[in-house]
């Protein structure tokens, strides 16, 4: 089934102009190849679900506490999933994979709420995989070579990520992305995602305050540096690089 067919199923639910805009967005926006924790939607349809964490809820202690995980994953992430399910009822988006919902609504002001909740669901799925217990350290050789080619050194790449995370004004994300053959670091605000602008996400750091405030209060830099040194999942980035 192609992308346009997904949309025409809901012809009676949205105006023709809104459907046309959404169809055009789907056809012109790249869908990411980076994996999420589990399929974003059950293979037999149904509601979007909160994916299981790829580790125990206390596995990131002491960098990220069990209390933070309980709120961040169990309440904030779950709330985005719940709200998305409410918003897509009776729309063509209800039967779409999560990444396609993000792509279709990214530049559509009529569906901003759907985009925000779909993108935040996707972003958090990706964030949890960007971390791992006993992470950090030396990247795999293939990724190390790409980091050195793009940034000069692994330390320079980590500094670029740290600077992006620390200087992001307000809520948002710092990302390591692939832009063609080049790796770069970008910031996004609020729920925005790099793949709607043609960039391939490799890993991300969440700098919304709920990601760190219980453990670090207003010391975002301490959270970012600890995450890069002890939790960042370079293997996940390499897997996404392909």
CA quadruple 130, 134, 140, 146: dihedral, nearest 10: 50
By 3-state DSSP, what share of the chain in percent is helix, strand and coil, each rounded to 5? 55, 10, 35
Q: How far apart are the C-alpha atoms of 56 and 155, rounded to whole Å? A: 29
Q: How far apart are the C-alpha atoms of 41 and 116, rounded to whole Å? A: 17
124 is known to lie in a ligand binding site = yes
Cis ω before 62 (30° cut-off from 0):
yes
72 is known to lie in a ligand binding site = yes
76 is known to lie in a ligand binding site = no
Partners of 184 in beta bridges: 177
210 is known to lie in a ligand binding site = yes
For residue 157, give Cα distances in angstroms to 139, 164, 205.
Answer: 11, 11, 14
> Can you say which residues are annotated as belonging to the binding site?
72, 124, 206, 210
Query: Which residues are known binding-site members for Mn(2+)?
Result: 72, 124, 206, 210
């Amino acid at each position: 089934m192609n992308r346009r067919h997904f949309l025409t199923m809901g012809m009676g639910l949205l105006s023709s102009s809104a459907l046309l805009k959404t169809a055009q967005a789907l056809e012109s926006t790249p869908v990411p190849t980076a994996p999420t924790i589990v399929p974003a939607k059950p293979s037999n349809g149904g509601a979007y679900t909160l994916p299981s964490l790829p580790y125990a809820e206390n596995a990131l202690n002491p960098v990220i506490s069990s209390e933070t995980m309980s709120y961040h994953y169990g309440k904030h992430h779950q709330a985005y999933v719940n709200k998305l399910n409410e918003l897509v009822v009776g729309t063509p988006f209800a039967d779409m994979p999560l990444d396609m919902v993000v792509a279709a609504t990214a530049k559509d002001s009529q569906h901003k709420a759907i985009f925000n909740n779909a993108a935040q669901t996707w972003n958090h799925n990706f964030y949890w995989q960007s971390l791992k217990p006993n992470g950090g350290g030396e990247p795999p050789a293939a990724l190390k070579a790409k980091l050195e080619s793009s940034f000069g050194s692994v330390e320079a790449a980590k500094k670029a990520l740290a600077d992006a995370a620390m200087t992001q004004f307000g809520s948002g994300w710092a990302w390591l992305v692939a832009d063609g053959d080049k790796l770069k670091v970008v910031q996004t605000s609020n729920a925005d995602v790099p793949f709607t602008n043609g960039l391939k996400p490799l890993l991300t750091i969440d700098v919304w305050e709920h990601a760190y405030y219980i453990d670090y209060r207003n010391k975002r830099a301490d959270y970012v540096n600890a995450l890069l040194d002890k939790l960042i999942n370079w293997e996940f980035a390499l897997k996404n690089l392909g």
